[in-house]
């Protein structure tokens, strides 16, 4: 009986202690979750400024933005573009809005490598650059180390000057329509899942209900009609015309020359300068020196960059949300694949992904 009482008392004490510890762990997990969400997703587009170089006490502020990847409008999961190899135009707009409040700001340098992106996102990026400079009279400068193509060019031409490192690729001024292929008299379909084969004596017949002419556009079991081809081509030509106007206006290049001579080819940095697409072939440090000199602050400035918002939670628990983020990036890559295949886009063919 004594042993039984001792064991009963032990298990009772243990269960209470375990219950308390479990409750504390649940509370801690909830705290970590909200801390991480708040730290990462609440206005992360601007909150963290990191000193890069210069005089910390200087009143002449220069902001550096490092951007890389395709240009999309926004993140469906509210993850900042600093956490991915994606440029979100909505985040850029928020950053510029916040920077308008910086009374000591003298200029912005955007270091960017981009293959382009969607039409709406590239245009929004461009309009944000134009609007900021017109409102504040503060110049924005662009530098690329490797690639500035298609929608990246659309956005970049809004800046006061564009610099590129030797060997960088610039250009691809064109618009790409959605891909459309169809099966020409198919007799068999093989699916990857479990290697299932489908075959019939009379061939494969496809049925789909829809209302509205061309509602089944991109149907893989029929040819496109001439009307559909013409409609898509007209959209492409309309967007391309705006692209030409934007580049011509901002780079002071004749529209006819862009259409007939530059085309949608991509050029090395030296050729891009000769053709007027960029201002100088300089590496980043040389470009920075030229920019600071142009702003008359070479000997008195401080440069700050926007950094990824890594709070103490995300620093010490890097795998806390790994499954969630892995799923997010898979969806993001699928989104880019769909954009490159099915949307009218300004995404260069020089860009490769995991599609």
List domains and CATH numbers for the chain: 43-179+234-347 (3.90.226.10), 181-223 (no CATH)
Assign 106 to helix, strand or coil: strand
Decide if 81 contacts 91 (C-beta within 8 A). yes
| Strand ranges (E), the chain | 49-54, 61-68, 71-72, 87-88, 105-113, 116-118, 140-144, 147-149, 161-164, 169-171, 188-190, 197-199, 266-268, 280-281, 302-306, 345-347
pLDDT at site 312 = 37
Q: DSSP character for 108?
A: E
Higher pLDDT among residues 189 and 126, named by residue: 126
CA distance 207 to 188: 16
For 158-176, what is the mean pLDDT?
96
Alpha carbon separation from 350 to 27, 143, 146, 256, 265 (Å, rounded): 49, 19, 12, 24, 10
Contact 345, 240 (CB under 8 A): no
- pLDDT attached to residue 25: 79
Q: Over 70: is that where the pLDDT of 353 sits?
A: no
Answer yes or no: is pLDDT of 126 > 80.
yes
Residues 47-84 pLDDT 10s: 578 899 999 999 999 999 999 999 998 765 444 445 45
Helices 119-136 and 89-99: angle between axes, nearest 10 degrees: 10
Q: Tell me the pLDDT tens digit for each residue of 180-226.
A: 777 777 666 666 555 556 666 666 677 778 888 888 888 877 888 99
CA-based torsion, 124, 125, 126, 132: positive or negative: positive
pLDDT in tens, 219-277: 877 888 999 989 989 999 999 999 999 999 999 999 999 999 999 999 999 999 999 99
Whole-number Cα distances in Å, 245 to 27, 191, 255: 57, 46, 7
Note whether 275 and 162 are within 8 A (CB): no
Q: What is the pTM of this model?
A: 0.75
Please report which confidence band the pLDDT of residue 139 belongs to, taking 50, 70 and 90 as the band edges: very high
350 near 266, Cβ under 8 Å?
A: yes
Quick: pLDDT tens for 102-124: 999 999 999 999 999 999 999 99
The Cα–Cα gap between 61 and 106 comes to: 6
| DSSP codes joined into one string, 294-324 | HTT-TTS-EEEEE-----HHHHH-TTTTHHH
What pLDDT score was predicted for residue 45?
47
End-to-end Cα spacing for the chain: 70
Q: What is the DSSP letter of 219?
A: -
- What tens digit of pLDDT does each residue of 6-50 get? 666 766 776 777 777 777 777 877 666 655 544 444 444 455 788
Cα atoms in the 13 Å half-sphere on the side-chain side of 290: 17
């Amino acid at each position: 009986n004594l042993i039984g009482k001792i064991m009963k008392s032990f298990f009772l004490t243990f269960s209470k202690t375990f219950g308390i510890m479990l409750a504390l762990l649940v509370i801690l997990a909830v705290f970590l979750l909200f801390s991480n969400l708040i730290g990462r997703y609440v206005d992360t587009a601007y909150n963290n400024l990191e000193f890069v170089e210069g005089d910390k006490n200087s009143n002449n502020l220069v902001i550096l933005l490092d951007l890389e990847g395709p240009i999309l409008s926004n993140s469906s999961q509210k993850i900042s573009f600093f956490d991915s190899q994606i440029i979100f135009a909505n985040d850029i707009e928020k950053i510029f809005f916040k920077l308008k409040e910086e009374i000591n700001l003298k200029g912005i340098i955007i270091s960017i490598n981009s293959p382009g992106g969607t039409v709406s996102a590239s245009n929004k990026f461009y309009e944000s650059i134009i609007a900021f400079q017109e409102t504040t009279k503060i110049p924005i400068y662009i530098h690329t180390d490797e690639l500035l193509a298609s929608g990246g060019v659309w956005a970049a031409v809004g800046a006061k000057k564009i610099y590129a490192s030797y060997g960088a690729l610039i250009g691809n001024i064109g618009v790409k329509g959605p891909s459309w292929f169809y099966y020409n008299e198919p007799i068999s379909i093989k699916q990857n899942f479990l290697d299932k084969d489908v075959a019939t004596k009379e061939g494969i017949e496809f049925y789909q209900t829809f209302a509205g002419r061309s509602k089944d556009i991109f149907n893989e079991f029929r040819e496109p009609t001439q009307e559909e081809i013409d409609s898509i081509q007209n959209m492409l030509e309309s967007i391309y015309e705006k692209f030409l106007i934007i580049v011509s206006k901002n780079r002071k290049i004749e529209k006819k020359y862009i259409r007939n001579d530059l085309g949608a080819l991509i050029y090395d940095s030296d050729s891009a300068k000769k053709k007027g697409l960029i201002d100088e072939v300089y590496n980043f440090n040389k470009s920075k020196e030229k920019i600071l000199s142009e702003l008359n602050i070479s000997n008195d400035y401080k440069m700050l960059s926007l950094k990824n918002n890594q709070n103490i939670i995300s620093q010490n628990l890097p795998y806390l949300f790994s499954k969630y983020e892995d799923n997010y990036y898979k969806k993001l890559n699928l989104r880019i694949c769909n954009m490159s295949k099915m949307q009218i886009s300004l995404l260069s063919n020089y860009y490769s992904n995991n599609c």
